[in-house]
Amino acid sequence: MSSSKRQMSIGMNILGFGAHSAAWREAEAPAGALTDLDYFSHIARVSERGTLDAIFLADGPALAGDVSRQPSGRLEPTVLLTAIALATQHIGVIATASSTFNDPYNLARRLASVDHLSGGRAAWNVVTTYNDAAAQNFGQAGSALHAERYGRAEEFVEVVQKLWDSWEDDAIVGDAARGVFADPAKVHTIDHVGQHFSVRGPLNVSRSPQGRPVIVQAGSSEGGKTLGSRYADAIFTTQTTLADGLAFYQEMKNRARAWGRNPEHLKIMPGLSTVIGSTEAEAQARFDRLNAYLGESTLAQQIAFRIGIPLDELDLDAELPWQRIGPVSEFKGSHGFLEAQLNLARREKLSVRELSRRILVGHRLIVGTPEQVADSLEQWFLAGAADGFNIMPDMFPSGVEVFVDEVVPLLRKRGVFRHEYAGSTLRDHLGLPHPRSQYERTNQAVSA
Amino acid sequence: MSSSKRQMSIGMNILGFGAHSAAWREAEAPAGALTDLDYFSHIARVSERGTLDAIFLADGPALAGDVSRQPSGRLEPTVLLTAIALATQHIGVIATASSTFNDPYNLARRLASVDHLSGGRAAWNVVTTYNDAAAQNFGQAGSALHAERYGRAEEFVEVVQKLWDSWEDDAIVGDAARGVFADPAKVHTIDHVGQHFSVRGPLNVSRSPQGRPVIVQAGSSEGGKTLGSRYADAIFTTQTTLADGLAFYQEMKNRARAWGRNPEHLKIMPGLSTVIGSTEAEAQARFDRLNAYLGESTLAQQIAFRIGIPLDELDLDAELPWQRIGPVSEFKGSHGFLEAQLNLARREKLSVRELSRRILVGHRLIVGTPEQVADSLEQWFLAGAADGFNIMPDMFPSGVEVFVDEVVPLLRKRGVFRHEYAGSTLRDHLGLPHPRSQYERTNQAVSA
């Protein structure tokens, strides 16, 4: 029965020069890498050598941070991932795009186009984008409220799915001799009229290889959970303790079931940042080297930023100032990241400084050996806290190389990860079915 | 002095299976070609073998026409052209995108991304999109008025150029040792506040190889001429007689001069549809064969559509019913196409049927030998009616193959077209200078 043994999925998250904000200082890649296809193609090809499910690009439509100190400016994901898909054969490509700052017709079409060109390897990571700088690039003074963003997001996804379904799989007849291009009974207007959008359709590109590109959702707030459990194929989540991971996994599967879905078709993929060395000491030295570029307090700044308290008002060697931190639901930013941090700090009674070394870009961090990373992945997977993982190495390309060359073989040996790709689409890799068009009529004669 | 002799530019317009709407019936390419990269890459590679300046994709965000009879559904141009750029080394890629149904921040970034990935070969063809079906995919009942669309378009282009300029050419310092990524004095907010857009900036991608991707404009209405003469690097225009071509060329150069521009930096490129055979009779037979798929009246339908009079109210063997055709400015669709048709019919006193055989997809048509095509291109070019041409072959791939293999050698022999690419960017091919950022400060000390 080993061939049918449940296997984990793994996504590789390409965050600039790496998840550690000082990664670029090591100069493993030149400063121009962020606009250089060779840089991204190398990471994708290494990931493909490791039979990972997908590479993933985060995104937001604004310049974030201080350009003098932080690598800034990045290529638009649907465009970059088209290029990466053509440099690879198997691996999925997941593009983040904002439901707040796009139109559903244009985005549905671009994603379907990427799916066509990649032979069925495209996915959309739905984000609602919470920063004011983005809003100010689109005629708004500041970011809309959490509930408003998620209301729009839910309708946006509904419209996108209708558009993807507007051409049935076999709509194209392609009979040049008779002059019949497509069957008009299998190409549908969607006539959507909702609170945020009125979209007539059909989409102006035929149905793509996956039918619908994979939908990924990464918010763990109440709004994010509602959206994700109803529409997503995979959830990228931040879970910092196994207990939280187990609870979240169960909750999301239950929510999917409540929507009438097969819970196996909703994949739960917690994030994990990695700093890997041959020994624990080596990994720690690598982490220390990266941290040294930033100075003592910069790591703690990520905590200060999330909880909304200035760094100089925090005692780094004390626990978090719990009395000053209000309910998570009142925060404007990512509720998932904040909650995960607070949970970890509370459960393990961590000081601000300790907490800051257990989190990277908002996610759980392991500084350790390939065995320690593989152990943790296997543990979470077998315990039922994860169907897969979204891996965020500290630094590229060494972080993905060591993961593929040292961690993946261990996972394969333990029988929890594939040796080769079994199918050709991202849906195949993730174990998701090919969706039927919602406009398809069963057992009904259709005149061409 | 032959090395400095003025050379024409040539763009290859990939309109589905070809400019003739029956092209797909010949089955030179399979029905699935519209979503197949190999189909487009082959056309692009043949065009590159002919050292053409660029390939061009028209577009609009709606499904047009009758899917049962017309090949329908096409890939989004920025995504498809990224893929095509990676399948080629030199040729420019021109993406049509609507200023009415996009946001300037997203579009500026996608185009800059294509420019980065193609090594400086990207261009944007600005269109305002006049069909109701498109409007209905974006929450509107019907298309906005001509003047409104062009008001938005003008501000849209202004914002896009500001965003492209928001990173100066040398903004990235990339000093990993000192930890200086970019010079913040060379990365600018644009703080644009206008009638249609408020955009803070800066763009979240660094300045691309061309500084600004090339801007193409294809409207020949008053609004289109104003926009094109002020902002465009190249004008794709429909001119059906040499006299009209000469007048348009002079008018646009004068308009550019009036904006304070160097008129040589505005390239005028009329469209030309081609049906080519080794002899005139062979070309005519090819045209007849394609027309036979459609039936007698379908060619005339393109005239009926433009002038807004039902086909069955037209006498195909009489001149146009001039008394029923109002002023061009009162039409909702493309003023340029309509005006060019009316001018040709008036000047040559053509019947509806005759006119319908001199026009294809709204542009001048030559049915003839390679010599006849080369003669016409040379004549217009040397007379001062064109800096280059936008070629629309009847059918792909044979139409581009015969153009590159039979027409291009003639143009080279006559010394009016290049034998090889002299530069690496589309601006190089077109003879356009590298633009300075409007935020660049001359001779001013900047502290990093």
Is the pLDDT reported for residue A2 higher than 50?
no
Q: Which of B64, B42, B231 is nearest to B134 (CA)?
A: B64
Do B187 and A86 lie within an 8 Å CB cutoff? no
- Tell me the C-alpha distance between B185 and A82, whole Å: 33
**What pLDDT score does B331 carry?**
79
Q: Residue B306: what pLDDT?
A: 86
Is B435 inside any structural domain?
Answer: no
Measured between beta carbons, the chain B residues lying within 8 angstroms of A142 are none
Which two three-digit tokens encode residue A223? 């709004």
Residue B274 β-bridge partners: B366, B393
Distance between B364 CA and the closest CA of chain A, angstroms: 26
The per-residue pLDDT for B381 is 98
B199 contacts A137? CB cut-off 8 A: yes
CB-nearest to B75 from A67, A117, A180 is A117
Please name the member of A101, A113, A137 whose beta carbon is closest to the beta carbon of B79.
A113
Cβ-Cβ contacts under 8 Å, B75 against chain A? 113, 116-117, 205
Question: Which residues of B are less than 8 Å from A25 in CB distance?
Answer: 176-177, 179
- Taking residue B65's Cβ as centre, other Cβ atoms within 10 Å add up to 12
Query: Looking up tokens 């729009």, which residue turns up?
Result: A152
Q: Which of B181, B183, B195, B446 to mutate to test the interface with A (most CBs of A within 10 A)?
A: B181
A180 to chain B, closest Cα gap in Å: 5
- At residue A442 the predicted structure's pLDDT band, cuts being 50, 70 and 90, is low
Which of B24, B175, B202 is facing A63, going by the closest CB pair? B202
* B298 sits in which H/E element: helix B298-307
- Structure confidence at residue A385 (pLDDT): 98
Mean pLDDT score across all residues of chain B:
93
* Helix B104-117 with A77-86: angle, nearest 10 deg: 30
What is the maximum alpha-carbon separation in chain B?
79
Give the C-alpha separation, B85 to A320, whole Å: 52
pLDDT at A1: 37
Q: Of B283, B297, B431, nearest to B371 (Cα)?
A: B283
| A164 Cα to chain B: minimum distance (Å) | 12
Give yes or no for a contact between B254 and B384, defined as CB atoms under 8 angstroms apart: no
The CATH number linked to B264 is: 3.20.20.30
Distance to chain B for A175, nearest Cα, Å: 8
CB within 8 Å: A69 and B167? no
Q: Which amino acid is at A299?
A: L
Chain A residue with Cα closest to B181 = A68
CA-based nearest residue to A233, from A218, A223, A251, A248? A218
What is the Cα–Cα distance from B130 to A39, expressed in whole angstroms?
41
Lowest mean pLDDT among A139-143, A152-156, B382-386: A139-143
Mean pLDDT of chain A, nearest integer: 93
Quick: pLDDT tens for A361-394. Answer: 889 999 999 999 999 999 999 999 999 999 999 9
In angstroms, the CA A169 to CA A208 distance is: 8
Q: Is residue B177 part of a domain?
A: yes
Summarised one tens digit per residue, pLDDT across range B1-26 is 344 689 999 999 999 999 999 999 99
Q: Is B146 annotated as ligand-binding?
A: yes
How far away is chain A from the Cα of B140, in angstroms, using its nearest Cα?
8
- Neighbouring CB atoms inside 10 A of A196's CB total 15
Residue B448 lies in a domain: no
Spatial neighbors of A329 by CB under 8 A, at least 6 apart, are A146, A221, A222, A335
Residue A443 pLDDT exceeds 80 = no
The C-alpha atoms of residue A439 and residue A178 are separated, in whole angstroms, by 26
Both tokens of A276, joined, read 């890997």
End-to-end CA distance of chain A: 46
Which is nearest to B79 in space by CA: A115, A203, A169?
A: A115
HSE-up (13 A, CA, CB side) for residue A240: 25
Instruction: Measure A113 CA to nearest chain B CA, in Å.
Output: 5
CA distance A287 to A319: 23
Contact A174 B198 (CB under 8 A): no
Inter-chain contacts counted by CB atoms under 8 A, chains A and B:
223
CB distance A88 to A64 below 8 Å: no
Residues of B in contact with A210 (CB under 8 A): none
User: Is A204 close to B72, i.e. CB distance below 8 A?
Assistant: yes
Residue B189 CB-density burial (10 A; 0-12 exposed, 13-18 middle, 19+ buried): middle
Residue B166 DSSP label: T
Question: Distance from B222 to chain A by nearest Cα, in Å?
Answer: 28
Residue A127, domain member (yes or no): yes
Q: In chain B, whose CA is at the least distance from the CA of A21? A: B179
Banded model confidence at residue A329, pLDDT cuts 50, 70, 90:
confident
Phi and psi, residue A101, nearest 5°: -120, 30
B76/A110 CB distance under 8 A:
yes
What confidence score (pLDDT) does residue B447 get? 43
Band of pLDDT at residue A447, cut at 50, 70 and 90: very low
Residue B183 belongs to some domain of the structure: yes
Q: Is B322 helix (H, G, I), strand (E, B) or coil?
A: helix
Amino acid at B40: F
Which residues have CB under 8 Å from A132's CB, separation 6+? A141, A142, A143
pLDDT tens readout for residues B331-353: 777 777 888 889 899 989 999 99
Closest alpha carbon within chain B to A97: B106
For residue A444, what pLDDT is reported? Answer: 52
Q: Answer yes or no: are the C-beta atoms of B269 and B388 closer than 8 Å.
A: yes
- Taking contacts as CB-CB distances below 8 angstroms, the residues of chain A near B66 are 184
Please state the three-class secondary structure of B279-294 as a single string. CHHHHHHHHHHHHHHH
Indicate left, alpha or beta for A128 from its phi (over 0: left) and psi (-120 to 50: alpha): alpha
- Please check whether residue A422 lies inside any domain of the structure: yes
Give the total number of structural domains in chain B: 1
* Cβ separation B117–A79 shorter than 8 A: yes
Q: What is the pLDDT of residues A402-440, one digit of tens each?
A: 999 999 999 999 999 999 999 999 999 999 999 999 999
Beta bridge partners of B390: B11, B271
Residues in A closer than 8 angstroms to B133, CB to CB, are 200
Residues of chain B contacting A171 with CB distance shorter than 8 Å: 67
Question: Do strands B234-237 and B359-360 pair parallel, antiparallel, or not at all (unpaired)?
Answer: unpaired
- Region of poorest pLDDT, from A317-326, A354-363, A379-388: A354-363
Test A187 with B32 for CB contact under 8 angstroms: no
Which distant-in-sequence residues (6+ apart) come within 8 Å of B265 by Cβ?
A: B233, B256, B432, B433
**ipTM field:** 0.95
User: What local confidence, expressed as pLDDT, does residue B335 receive?
Assistant: 76
Asked, for residue A18, whether it belongs to a domain, the answer is yes
Find the residue in A nearest to B29 (Cα): A176
Query: Does A349 reside within a domain?
Result: no
Specify the pLDDT at position B334: 74
| DSSP code string of B74-132 | ---HHHHHHHHHHT-SS-EEEEEEESSSS-HHHHHHHHHHHHHHTTS-EEEEEE----H
Which residue from B61, B62, B181 is facing A72, i.e. has the nearest CB? B181
pLDDT by residue for chain B (448 residues), tens only, comes to 344 689 999 999 999 999 999 999 999 999 999 999 999 999 999 999 999 999 999 999 999 889 999 999 999 999 999 999 999 999 999 999 999 999 999 999 999 999 999 999 999 999 998 889 999 999 988 888 888 899 999 999 999 999 999 999 999 999 999 999 999 999 999 999 999 999 999 999 999 999 999 999 987 788 899 999 999 999 999 999 999 999 999 999 999 999 999 999 999 999 999 999 999 999 999 999 999 998 878 888 888 988 989 999 999 999 999 999 988 878 777 777 888 889 899 989 999 999 988 888 889 999 999 999 999 999 999 999 999 999 999 999 999 999 999 999 999 999 999 999 999 999 999 999 999 999 998 645 444 3
Q: How far is B340 from chain A (nearest CA, A)?
A: 29
Length of chain A: 448
Q: Does the beta-carbon distance from B113 to A75 stay under 8 Å?
A: yes
Question: Is B117 close to A199, i.e. CB distance below 8 A?
Answer: no
Alpha-carbon radius of gyration of chain A: 22
Q: Where are the alpha helices (DSSP H) in B125-177?
A: 132-135, 146-165
Judge: A174–B31 Cβ closer than 8 Å, yes or no. Answer: yes
Contact status, residue A180 vs residue A448, Cβ threshold 8 Å: yes
CB pair distance less than 8 Å for B109 and A76: yes
Nearest-angstrom CA–CA distance, B199 and B187:
15
Helix (H) or strand (E) holding A298: helix A298-307
Gap between the Cα atoms of A234 and A228, Å rounded = 8
Res. A72: pLDDT tops 60:
yes
- Pairing assessment for the beta strands B122-127 and B92-98 based on DSSP bridges: parallel
pLDDT number for residue B442 = 66
Give the range of the structural domain holding residue A104, as residue numbers without chain letter.
2-276+366-430
Number of helical H runs and strand E runs in chain B: 15, 14
For residue A431, how many other CB atoms are within 10 A of its CB? 18
Average the pLDDT over each of A105-109, A140-144, A271-275, B222-226 and give the range with the smallest value.
A140-144
- What does the alpha-carbon distance between residue B52 and residue B121 come to, in Å, rounded to a whole number? 12
Q: Which residues pair with A367 in a beta bridge?
A: A275
Q: Do A136 and B198 touch (CB under 8 A)?
A: yes
Instruction: Identify all chain B residues contacting A103, using CB atoms and an 8 Å cutoff.
Output: 101-102, 138
Q: Which residues of chain B are within 8 Å of residue A61 when distances are taken between CB atoms?
A: 105-106, 109, 204
Are A16 and A390 in contact, with CB atoms under 8 Å apart? Answer: no
Nearest CA in chain B to A63: B204
Residue A412 token pair: 């394969």
